[in-house]
């Protein structure tokens, strides 16, 4: 039986993660769940946001299902997601954004973009320098190996999922060293995939075009910070960040998590949209080679298109549990 490490997390994580587990149980996949305490709650209890023991346990599992965890602004502990992506070398962050119609809050119809974000380098590499009280530096790291593996992952993803185009997004006109390396590696690797269209965009122009004509994008491959920002933009176009599912994949380990954070403004109200983590769990089943992922995606898609039991972020009046019950009824 496959073992899944489950991080319930903070804020709305405590409300939406159990709903994903309920859906997994409803598709009758046999999974052994190992619950891991991590995040702000764990930090307040134990003084550590995630223990070395917890990371060891996760390494012994087949996948990790992670709810959002709160990260303090400025000082305090480091983001759990960033720590795990780096410790477990999960270099590729796959973030699909699909719209289900303007009626339910989507800004544009027919948005179907997959953002492949580099997860371990860029400005998130963790190299920060205190020059003085008034001068701080954060290092933007780019390595050939890091660029090659993320761009190759994006092209392989496109090939496997019958996607037609890959757009490399960077800022190589200003960040001539790091962006330049990313751009030249992307060009090199694209030549090995003649069947897939390739283009490049500067990140600012990309953001503008995504807002105006998102249908022009298919797969986007980009560096860590740009990927973080553009995936929120893409989800905004689909209507709600509550639809944002994601996979973090490396050679050995994989973690599936909602794109959004712990949303303290709506936590405890029972109105968070659980679609993000339910769709993440579907990606997890595909990854570990179990049936059920397509059934879950189809059921969520039916509910979103029907629009009868939507949570308030999509303009409805349903609770988190009512939405999940409706998804389960459509499986």
- Does the active-site annotation cover 269? no
- Minimum Å gap between C-beta 126 and ligand ATP is 18
Given 98, 171, 201, 309, the catalytic residue: 171
Q: Is 157 a catalytic residue?
A: no
- Report the nearest approach of ligand ATP to the CB of residue 174 (Å): 27
Nearer to ligand ATP, 186 or 247 (CB): 247
Beta-strand ranges (E) seen in 157-276 are: 165-170, 197-202, 219-222, 245-249, 254-258
Whether 325 is catalytic is no
* Phi, psi angles (nearest 5°) of residue 85: -60, -40
Is 42 or 189 the residue whose CB approaches ligand ATP more closely?
Answer: 42
Task: Look up 124 and say whether it is catalytic.
Answer: yes
Q: Return the residue nearest ligand ATP (CB atom).
A: 261
If the CB atoms of residues 70 and 83 are measured against ligand ATP, the closer one turns out to be 70
Which has the closest alpha carbon to 196: 149, 160, 247, 248? 160
Q: Which residues bind ligand ATP (CB under 6 A)?
A: 12, 68, 70, 241-242, 260-266, 272-273, 276, 313
Q: Which of 124, 153, 253, 326 is catalytic?
A: 124
Query: Dihedrals φ, ψ of 98, to 5°?
Result: -130, 135
In angstroms, give the least distance from the CB of 94 to ligand ATP. 18
Instruction: Find the shortest distance in angstroms from Cβ 162 to ligand ATP.
Output: 29
In terms of CB distance, is 249 or 263 closer to ligand ATP?
263
DSSP state of 220: E
Q: How far is CA 31 from CA 22, 50, 148, 257, 292, in A?
A: 12, 23, 34, 17, 12
DSSP letter, residue 171: -
Q: How many residues would you count in the chain?
A: 331
Handedness of CA 104, 313, 295, 321 (dihedral sign): negative
Indicate which residue of 228, 309, 313, 326 is catalytic: 228
> What minimum distance in Å lies between the beta carbon of 45 and ligand ATP?
18
Gap between the Cα atoms of 72 and 147, Å rounded: 29
38 vs 158, which CB is nearer to ligand ATP?
38
35 is catalytic: no
If we measure between CA atoms, which residue out of 151, 163, 170, 152 comes closest to residue 196? Answer: 163
> Which positions are annotated as active-site residues?
124, 171, 204, 228, 232
């Amino acid at each position: 039986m496959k073992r899944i490490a489950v991080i319930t997390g903070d804020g709305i994580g405590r409300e939406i993660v159990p709903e994903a587990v309920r859906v997994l149980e409803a598709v009758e996949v046999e999974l052994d769940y190992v619950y891991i305490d991590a995040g702000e709650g764990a930090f307040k209890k134990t003084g550590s946001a995630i223990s070395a023991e917890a990371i060891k346990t996760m390494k012994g599992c087949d996948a990790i299902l992670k709810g959002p965890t709160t990260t303090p602004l400025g000082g305090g502990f480091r983001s759990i997601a960033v720590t795990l992506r780096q410790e477990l070398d999960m270099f590729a962050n796959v973030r699909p954004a699909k719209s289900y119609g303007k009626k339910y809050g989507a800004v544009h119809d027919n948005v179907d973009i997959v953002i492949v974000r580099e997860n371990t380098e860029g400005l998130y590499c963790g190299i920060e320098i205190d020059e003085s009280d008034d001068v701080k530096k954060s290092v933007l790291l780019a390595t050939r190996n890091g660029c090659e593996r993320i761009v190759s992952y994006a092209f392989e993803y496109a090939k496997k999922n019958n996607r037609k185009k890959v757009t490399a997004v960077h800022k190589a006109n200003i960040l001539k060293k790091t962006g330049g390396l990313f751009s030249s590696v992307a060009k090199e690797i694209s030549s090995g995939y003649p069947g897939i269209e390739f283009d490049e965009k500067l990140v600012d122009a990309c953001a503008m075009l995504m807002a105006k004509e998102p249908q022009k994008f298919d797969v986007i491959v980009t560096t860590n910070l740009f990927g973080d920002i553009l995936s929120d933009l893409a989800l905004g176009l689909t209507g709600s960040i509550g639809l944002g599912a994601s996979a973090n994949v490396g050679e050995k380990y994989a973690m599936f998590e909602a794109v959004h954070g712990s949303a303290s403004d709506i936590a405890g109200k029972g109105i968070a949209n659980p679609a993000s983590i339910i769709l993440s769990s579907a990606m997890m089943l595909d990854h570990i080679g179990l049936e059920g992922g397509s059934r879950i995606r189809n059921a969520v898609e039916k509910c979103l298109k029907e629009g009868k039991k939507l949570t308030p972020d999509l303009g409805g009046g349903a609770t988190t549990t009512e939405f999940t019950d409706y998804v389960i009824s459509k499986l």
